[in-house]
Structures are given as structure tokens and as C-alpha cells.
Structure 1
Amino acid sequence: MPAAAQATSVKAGIAAWQKGDSARAVAIWRPLAEKGDQDAAFNLGQAYRLGRGVAADSGQAKRWFERAAKAGHLDSQVALGLLLFDSGARREALAWLSRAAERGEPRALLVVGTALFNGDDVPPDPVKGYAYVSRAAAQGLAPAKTTLAEMDQVLPVEQRRKGVAMALAAAKPVKAAAKPPAKAPAPAPVAVASASGAWRVQLGAFGSRSSAESLYGRLQGKLGSARAFYVPVGAMTRLQAGPFATRAEATAACARLAPQPCFAVAAK
């Protein structure tokens, strides 16, 4: 198929998806993905992950994300990393997210940077972790800004300076994938909580519990199995969700919820 016609077909799939005809979108993308179109493979992976147009199948989602990720598709590398993170394969997840982070992708920078800072499933490197989160925050990612402010409270000034210098040296525009990614509009990725854990995400503080409950109602579809915690602090009510097994998992959940303000907190 000529490149121009192929690109048009991917867009036709997106148009069908936007109209709610997910099955038609999948029918358009599948042959293109099988012929090696990275955008079609990414979109097909999203369809399997979300169960739209096909039965939900994380194995098939992984297969298509991985196929495009290996070819250098940036969004697929991030999607694959977050999918693996959710399945508990954190080291493999961090390997893919690290590839995306090296290319400057802000969500990947935040998750990998937090893992490096805390030594979650990787050797601890707080300076590099600080540099990564700094780069994510510089791109406007709200959870990264919050995480960076928390790091500022515990990391010595000299190490922060080294991290900033590292971030400035590495800062560059995100490299484009082999083709500009043609993302299919889809619901935000779902945050997956552990049955138990010492971490939560904090989503805001409110003058009334009803306001906190209202926000949770709006975000519940994106929070998956994470349940709400309403924490009274004086006259305020903090909305938290979780639990998560590690801070890295909580940070990954925040990355998924962007641009909603969110940061990881230790459960008390």
C-alpha cells in the first residue's frame, strides 16, 4: 500500500473510533499493523487494552505495543512500559520506560526518575533521578512538579545542583517516532492498585468531604481498583487513592492521571 494511502487509512480508523465504531477502526488498523505500520500497531494495542472493538486482552495489547516499540515508536514504548508495570513485571517495564525517558518523554522520565531516586527495582541514583524528574517537570507534567518539590525537601543542595546540571545537559526535544504517532482517542489509562501497600496518591484537599467525593466520582473510572481514602486534617479533607505497593507504582498512577494534580504519599 502506498505510504500516503496507508496514512489515510490509519486516520480513517481514528475517525471511526471517534464516531464510536471501534470494530470498524480495528478492522482498518489490523491489516496495516500486520504490514508493519507502527501507528496502526499502537492503536490496535490500545483497542485490546481497553476492550473496544475487540475483547479486552492484555496479552494481545502487549504483543502489538511491543511490535511497535521495538521499531522505535515512542508512545508504544511508554504504553508497553506502563502495561508491564501494571502486570507486576516492573524491571522489564522500567527497561522500556528508560528507553522512552532517554528520548525525553515526560511520563517515562517521571516514573524512571522516581524509581532511581528511591532505588525501586533499580540501583539507587538520586542525582540522576532528580535530573529525570526535573526534565519531566520542565515539560509541564503536573505530577512531576509535585514530586520534584518533595525531592527538594530531602536531597542536599549540592546533589540538586548536580541533578540540574545533568538535566540541562540532557535536555532536548522529544525525538519523533519513525512516523508521527496517530493516536486513537481513548479513555485515560487505568491506575492499578495493589491489594495492600504502603503508598497512596493524593488528589487534593477540600473544605468539605462532599467536594472530595465529587472529584473521586469524576476520576473513579481512571483509578481502576484504587479505592478512595478521605483523610480529615483539621477542617480540611484530603482525597487519597490506593493502596500501591511502592512509591514508583504510585508515581506511575499519577503519570496516568495527568493533568490532574497528584502526588505519591506514604499511607498512615
Structure 2
Amino acid sequence: MLGVAVAAVLGASCDKVHAQSADLVLCDRLAADPTDPDKPADVRGVAEIVHTDLTTAIKFCRTASGSRRALYQLGRAYAANQQMAEAIAAWRKAVDKGSTSAMIELGVAYGTGSAIGKDEAQARKLFERAAEAGNPRGASNLAALSSGGAPADPVRARALLAKGAETNAEAQYQLGLLLSEGIGGPKDDAAARVLFEKAAAQNHPGALERMGAFAQSGRGGASDSGAAKAYYERAAALGDEDAKKALERAKCPYVIKDKRGNVVTNLCF
């Protein structure tokens, strides 16, 4: 199938420019990231590269690696093939060419210490560069990069997340958390609820759980137990553990405590 595709693309000309273009087309087809801002609008992308396509993806993306998009995608293919040293090297080259998606992947590697020395300061720099260039994943990762659950610079995190929150569900959720807790600026439950609702509409599990909690308590807006249950159920179906616990608590609302105030059990109905 790929042979036919290559022949079709290369049929008009066999010069080097056309050959490189064909390699990039095939690299895109097999390894493009749906969230990559560099991805052409007519390329759907794949959330995960199909295992049987890895060798072919590496081949075409490596040949097309003059492009920063191809370098980033080459890193994706290497990472999916458990070749992390090669993935890191490809992402470094893509970062040098300005790929914000590669900045994020390299930042994650530094932040987690995966196949590279852990360096949160370097991770933060990479996330900041990506966020400042307009990649919402950079802003949300920067907000999440923390010790003890709070961003190192919450004021800056708010500002960067505000850019990403225009379109990105994760940025909306992360900014909503900061607003709901009053981190990095004034507490604003109403604005937080609006952000959680936007992210929940995109099936973000955490935002669905937060909307359940806000609807249940009437935080930032109207109280609605029916809506709260529906949000919790959607979040639980997507694997959110807090939502699952909330649904269990709803089934067993009566708490029995000992003399010290410790919960002994819950009565269910």
C-alpha cells in the first residue's frame, strides 16, 4: 500500500525536492501529532503511532528530517519504539528549529527524568518557551510543574494559561483550578466554573469532576444535584477516581463517627 502511495507521489518527478516532499507527506500520514501546531490543517494525525507502522514512520521521518515537524514526529516514532535516546536527540534538533511540540516533549523528559537527567529548571524553561510561542500544552504543563501542587510562579502561570484557555481544555481546567483556589491572584469561583464548564464540554475528566462538585455545592453558580450526578457519572466513566468516590458518597451519605470524630462507616441506601 505504501509502495503505491510513494509511486503516486513521486510519479510526476524524481528530483530531490519532490522526493523530500513525498517523505514528509508519508511521515505526516504515519506519525503526525493531532495537537501539533505545525501540523497542516489537512492532516488528521494519530494520537498513537500504530506499532506496525513504526519502522516505516522512522524511515520516512528520518529522510524528511530537514523539517522541524518531521524531526518532532521522528522523535515520536522513536519514543513509541522504545528508542528514547534517539527520541531525545531528534527532539533536541526540532527544538533548535523552533518546534513547540518538541519543547514540550523534551520538557516532559526533563521533568520526569525519563531517559535523561531530571532537571525541573530546564523543563520549566522549555514549557515557558512553548507557552510564549502560543502552544497551550506548554502553559498547562508549566502550571502542573510544581512541588506541593502549586506552580513555582503562579502569577506567570495564570497569564500563560489565559492564552491557552481560549481553545485548550487542559489549559481551561488548570486555570480554573488556580482561580478556584485563589492561587496567583484573586479567588473567583464564577470564572472558575465557566472555565470548568468549557473544558467539561470537551470531555475533560478533571473538569467534569469539578463541575460535579461545583453544581453539588452551588459554588460559582446554581446548585443542581441532578446535574452534579450527571457530571460525576461522565467523569467516572472516563476514569476519574475523585468522581467515582463522589458517586459512592452520594449512595452512602450518612456518616457514623466515633467519639474522636473519626469516620467509622457510612450508611447506604
Alignment TM class, shorter chain as reference: 0.5 to 0.7
**Distance (Å, rounded) in 1 between the aligned partners of 2:194 and 2:221:** 10
RMSD: 3.3
Aligned residue number for residue 204 of structure 1: 245
Pick from 82, 95, 99 the counterpart of residue 163 of structure 2. 99
What's the CA shift for 1:149?
A: 2.2
The residue type equivalent to 1:66 in the other structure is: E
Aligned residue number for residue 218 of structure 2: 155
Asked whether the equivalents of residues 117 and 125 of structure 1 are also in contact (C-alpha less than 8 Å), the reply is: yes
Judging by fraction of residues, say which structure has more strand: 1
Aligned positions of 1:109-188 closer than 5 A:
109-155=172-218, 159-160=221-222
Pick from 94, 107, 118 the counterpart of residue 45 of structure 1. 107
* Secondary structure, aligned partner of 1:102: coil
**Distance (Å, rounded) in 1 between the aligned partners of 2:185 and 2:116:** 36
Asked whether the equivalents of residues 127 and 142 of structure 2 are also in contact (C-alpha less than 8 Å), the reply is: yes
- Using structure 1 for the length normalisation, give the TM-score: 0.54
Could you say if the C-alpha distance between residues 30 and 232 of structure 1 is closer, same or farther in structure 2, counting changes exceeding 3 Å? farther
What's the CA shift for 1:135?
A: 1.0
Identity %: 27
Pick from 56, 59, 66 the counterpart of residue 128 of structure 2. 66
The residue type equivalent to 1:131 in the other structure is: V
* Secondary structure, aligned partner of 2:245: strand
- 1:33 equivalent to 2:99? Answer no
Q: Where in structure 2 are there 5+ consecutive unaligned residues?
A: 1-19, 25-63, 224-241, 249-262
Deviations 1:71-116 (A, max 9, x none): 111211211221156554333222222222223x222222322433
**Distance (Å, rounded) in 2 between the aligned partners of 1:205 and 1:150:** 8
What's the CA shift for 1:159?
A: 4.1
Structure showing greater radius of gyration is 2
Asked whether the equivalents of residues 23 and 52 of structure 1 are also in contact (C-alpha less than 8 Å), the reply is: no
- 1:233 equivalent to 2:265? Answer yes
**Distance (Å, rounded) in 2 between the aligned partners of 1:94 and 1:202:** 26
Pick from 60, 64, 70 the counterpart of residue 8 of structure 1. 70
Number of paired residues?
Answer: 172
Could you say if the C-alpha distance between residues 30 and 126 of structure 1 is closer, same or farther in structure 2, counting changes exceeding 3 Å? same
What's the CA shift for 1:124?
A: 2.8
Where relative contact order (Cα < 8 A, 6+ residues apart) is larger, the structure is 1
